[in-house]
Structure 1
Amino acid sequence: MTPLSDPFLLCLVALLALTLGSFLNVVIARLPMMLSQQWTREAHQTLALTLPAQKRCNLLVPRSHCPECDTPIAWHDNIPLVGYLKRRGRCAQCRCAISVQYPLVEAASMALVLWVAWHHGLTLDTLAMALACLTLLALAVIDWRTMLLPDVLTLPLLWGGLLYQLISHPDRLAESVIGAMAGYGVAWGFYWLFRLATGREGLGRGDFKLLAALGAWCGWMSLPLILVLSATTGAVIGIMIQLVIPRLRGAPMPFGPFLSAAGMLILLGGDRVIALYYNIIGLAI
């Protein structure tokens, strides 16, 4: 594959990535609310209760608005990165602060897509890997905010990984299938071992599916590295947060963001990262 180095095309890719990042913010903000409304409807239907009035909420309705005063955001204030910087991170109407999550997600989306395009060119592989990385980014932020890893994202990511290997790398399909099974099985086994030993849940079931999806995309040989990276990073950051914010000591912490970050590192670094890991292990042994 020929890397993409043309400045004009890179600018076009960057603009597209910023637009996707803006849409990703919509998914991150609204998908948990959509799921909550769905679960409320299902619970009331099951119990034959009257459903309370619910505001219509999906990925298209309502328009983007300030979370504090509900004022719709003007189109020129909704331009990725530019709108946030122009208003200095505040609502044009009520002047309340807008979360820094929005420009960070947009910038991260641009960086991820540009990295993939720079190294792989304009190919179907680039499209598939970029979508996988953006999905992992959305899952990481949603899990950090809500402790949820929605099936509507993890399951398509899993099947997408298997389909990607089937079409682009059929010689790796067996490794991908084994990776999906092993990823789910390892997470399931850890869940039950931890529960039997402590009486508490150490992982959520969404983590099972996310690790299975990473196994499908990266292959079974990447799973040890993904687990080492995510567990180590999660432990270090968790300890730092509890030291800095005492009220969070003992509070549950999502594991999905660290799994997602490790998976993105493997996807972006490719076989070189995995080879480096096994070389280090070989030297240590």
Structure 2
Amino acid sequence: MTGSAQWDAALVGVLGLLIGSFLNVVIHRLPRMMQQQWQDECHRYAIEQGLLPATAAPPAAQAFNLSRPRSHCPHCSHALRWYENIPVLSYLALRGRCAGCHARISPRYPLVELATGLLFYAAALRWGISATAACWCIFAAILMALAWIDWDTTLLPDDLTLPLLWAGLIAAALQYSGTPLLDSVAGAAAGYLSLWSVYWAFKLATGKEGMGYGDFKLFAALGAWFGWQALVPIILIASVCGAMVGIGMKLSRQLREGKYVPFGPFLALGGLCAMLWGPDRLLHGVLSLLG
């Protein structure tokens, strides 16, 4: 590999750091935006059903989206200056503390930025500066956001899963993902139906819901990107890693209320591993681990 290619990949990695900083905003704000939307819809429904008078004031809420209000400290509302928003470097310069009140900043923020930068770097290193690399960078960024949102809230927003699914089908149609279109369509259908079937089998047997519909959509999206052949290695690595984390959390008494671990982050992990190493090598690695 030439030095020029490595420099190009490094520049894409820097772009990934910036995208990672934006993903931190998405991870934090999108669930709150969804909650605000649900409250507005419930308010309108209550008025339509006559449960509230037509003059009832809507739920009090300030303008809140991905751009407003400005990024600020949740403890003291200190608005971040531009030089306090530089990915990774600002965290290190501030020593993980707010410049206003010196409250601790979660290390997850620079970790998300760094992980996104490394994924972008890996994509550019493998596919060069190309439409294919751009597609896989988009894939990695959306998966990163979905994994952390699901971990925090047990939600996999349609605003991210459905665009990821359609992007996979479009990338296959344009021959950017390396997956034949027929395999992509079959993968999307098989991914959704497989977890849908497991969900209903578990519910009929136990009367409980073992996963959410967001997991079906995410697995369908992974099938669209990699084809139906990749579904087995992805679900294997997701199940193994999820079980290991779940057992570890149970032994350390860190399981959340309801005693479950969201499955979306481990599906995302399986998808990222498939992107980095390929589904075939991923399956061989998982089988070697199990054997």
Same fold (TM > 0.5): yes
Distance 1:34 1:246, change over 3 A: closer
2:270 equivalent in structure 1: 262
Distance 1:200 1:62, change over 3 A: same
2:139 aligned to 132, 139, 146, which one? 132
2:158 aligned to 137, 151, 160, which one? 151
Alpha carbons 2:9, 2:128 under 8 Å: kept: no
Alpha carbons 1:3, 1:121 under 8 Å: kept: no
Residue identity opposite 1:89 in structure 2: G
2:8 equivalent in structure 1: 9
In the alignment, does 2:41 pair up with 1:34?
no
**1:9 Cα offset (Å):** 2.5
RMSD between aligned residues? 2.3
CA distance in 1, matches of 2:39, 2:3: 47
1:197 equivalent in structure 2: 205
2:89 equivalent in structure 1: 82
1:57 equivalent in structure 2: 64
CA distance in 2, matches of 1:196, 1:13: 48
SS at match of 1:191: helix
| Residue segments in structure 2 that go unaligned for 5+ positions in a row | 48-55
2:18 equivalent in structure 1: 19
2:184 equivalent in structure 1: 176
Give the TM-score taking structure 2 as reference length. 0.91
Alpha carbons 1:242, 1:249 under 8 Å: kept: no
**1:271 Cα offset (Å):** 4.7
CA distance in 2, matches of 1:93, 1:122: 41
**1:166 Cα offset (Å):** 0.6
Distance 1:46 1:107, change over 3 A: same
In the alignment, does 2:249 pair up with 1:244?
no
CA distance in 2, matches of 1:161, 1:3: 30
**1:5 Cα offset (Å):** 5.0
**1:142 Cα offset (Å):** 0.5
CA distance in 1, matches of 2:111, 2:191: 29
CA distance in 2, matches of 1:249, 1:53: 29
In the alignment, does 2:110 pair up with 1:103?
yes
Alpha carbons 1:165, 1:172 under 8 Å: kept: yes
Distance 1:130 1:206, change over 3 A: same
2:172 equivalent in structure 1: 165
CA distance in 1, matches of 2:77, 2:123: 37
1:112 equivalent in structure 2: 119
Distance 1:80 1:46, change over 3 A: same
CA distance in 2, matches of 1:243, 1:6: 46
Give the TM-score taking structure 1 as reference length. 0.93
1:142 aligned to 146, 149, 153, which one? 149
CA distance in 1, matches of 2:216, 2:7: 41
CA distance in 2, matches of 1:81, 1:16: 13
Alpha carbons 2:5, 2:125 under 8 Å: kept: no
How many aligned positions are there? Answer: 282
Residue identity opposite 1:225 in structure 2: P
1:235 equivalent in structure 2: 243
1:91 equivalent in structure 2: 98
Alpha carbons 1:147, 1:254 under 8 Å: kept: yes
CA distance in 1, matches of 2:179, 2:90: 46
1:215 equivalent in structure 2: 223
Distance 1:184 1:13, change over 3 A: same
Of all paired residues, the percent bearing the same amino acid is 45
Alpha carbons 1:4, 1:10 under 8 Å: kept: no
